[in-house]
Structure 1
């Protein structure tokens, strides 16, 4: 993954410790893994429409995207506001709804009271300032750069013609012929562009306007990052608002919203079979 050439085993181990540490939240109740679960071959999400935050009764406003393969994407967050994993890792810690820490300095001061962290940062970042908010995020990013899936579609693309079943191959062809690959392309089948949600037919939920809520430019209305499809079968519910529970329904809605096409049951079943072939094989 880009950037991993500079990640030592010690740096990755520190990042993993931080990723699972609930002390990064204001009341010691929330870790990165709370919303992006990778423990015991976890899905990289919490499989909830919207994620609960550290403060009781507080919920995020967008569905938690998977952390698997995240560092291969062109940008981070649904609206692409972070350039890379390090910048992304800073956001939830300070977000008042998510981990709710009051300031960067408060995070540093909290970890500074933990001897093990002081020693680890002085070792890993001895030439880069030791314990700092940026280095906390950079260590977490180093761990996240190890989260790479592998699936049978990889084997198929590498020449194993039997890696996919006949139905999955039909689904791949249907996926291409229908036009899905116009946006869901590249190694991740997505994650590399922002597209209007409801390109042909308007999306019902207009309360979240995507990138427009960030830059206030009319052309940005309903622009969201095209989700990666690698491992997609494990990451329900779907869409930025977590409104769709099944993969088949998501396929049908996307065809209608983005392409103006009504898929047959046979087409939906085939595309679903192909997408399930993208499931991570541990």
Structure 2
């Protein structure tokens, strides 16, 4: 920054001084909740199923094929590759913290993780299977028969496969981000620039949509509030219709679930259409088409620094 004086004047307001204790901060955003307690047998069964390629019709694709837990829980490709070798129509969101979203899929067509799992297995562009085939395949495996019998009184069923997978996914909480530690009272863990970036995130209005414990994922919003994003981008696609494909309501045209910003620094590319390859590009699009504002170059840098503090951990390692 050109001068340190503005920061020094803002110290009391921004809480930039030394931490005096571990009391949680009174902020509109809150830390992620602890990983929920789940039946350990069902969690382990779900973990195995998450990595099971036999959920797909030709045994080539598992949940983990597109949701890389070591890389933010998403896919580094613009569009994941389905069982038949063709790309799926929308960018794959992170599976981390998905249980905290109010709906699943970009257009919110699934109310629960179980409903999402049911659809993905049957999707002609994703796993291409059917549930009778999945149940028969797993039932033919003695190890799975035993694991299901131990976890569920009625053994291998469609509902139990979905429940086991959803139970495991509910444990995929990317806790301990530096921002969460800051919210929990460790105010020294963020740099001055990162704290100031958080303030700019709030003052520009980003927090109006990226809100709640998941910093998004709890509302629908039109993509292109302050301008026609799709006209500027060109080459309209059916997937651009968003929630309109679910409801048929004209007001839902180009409306999508607001994505969570947690782990956003490690889950490029961005948006349903993967049109932004970097955080810088994504922030530019959001300012232009959602806020109708032009940030200063310094403010944009600060906001990106804040977004980078949202990267959590999995199994004790940063994502």
Distance 1:155 1:199 in 2: 33
CA shift, 1:27, in A, is: 1.1
1:37-75 per-position Cα deviation (integer Å, ceiling 9, x unaligned): 11xx3310111111110112x211110000001101111
1:123-166 per-position Cα deviation (integer Å, ceiling 9, x unaligned): 1111xx22111211110111111111120111111111111101
- Structure 1 unmatched runs, 5+: none
Greater Cα shift, 166-175 or 86-95 = 86-95
Query: Aligned with 2:221: secondary structure?
Result: strand
Who is 1:29 aligned against? 60
The answer as to 2:225 corresponding to 1:199 is yes
Between structure 1 and structure 2, the one with the greater Rg is 2
Distance 1:278 1:197 in 2: 23
Distance 2:71 2:60 in 1: 19
- Is the Cα contact below 8 Å between 2:54 and 2:134 reproduced in 1? no
Who is 1:135 aligned against? 160
Who is 1:79 aligned against? 107
The answer as to 2:80 corresponding to 1:48 is no
The answer as to 2:189 corresponding to 1:163 is yes
Q: Alignment partner for residue 266 of structure 2, among 219, 234, 241?
A: 234
1:159-189 per-position Cα deviation (integer Å, ceiling 9, x unaligned): 1111110110111011011110000011111
Q: Alignment partner for residue 8 of structure 1, among 30, 39, 55?
A: 39
Distance 1:50 1:198 in 2: 22
Distance 2:57 2:309 in 1: 40
- Structure 2 unmatched runs, 5+: 1-32
Who is 1:124 aligned against? 151
Who is 1:94 aligned against? 122
Distance 2:182 2:219 in 1: 25
Distance 2:172 2:35 in 1: 13
CA shift, 1:119, in A, is: 1.2
Distance 1:136 1:2 in 2: 25
Q: Which has the higher contact order (CA 8 A, sep 6+)?
A: 2
Distance 1:2 1:85 in 2: 19
TM-score, length of structure 1 as denominator length? 0.94
Distance 2:34 2:194 in 1: 30
Query: Aligned with 1:277: secondary structure?
Result: helix
Backbone CA RMSD of aligned residues: 1.5
CA shift, 1:221, in A, is: 0.5
The number of residues matched between the two structures is 275
Who is 1:18 aligned against? 49
TM-score, length of structure 2 as denominator length? 0.83
Q: Alignment partner for residue 187 of structure 1, among 197, 210, 213?
A: 213
Who is 2:9 aligned against? none
1:227-268 per-position Cα deviation (integer Å, ceiling 9, x unaligned): 101111010000011111000110111011101012222111
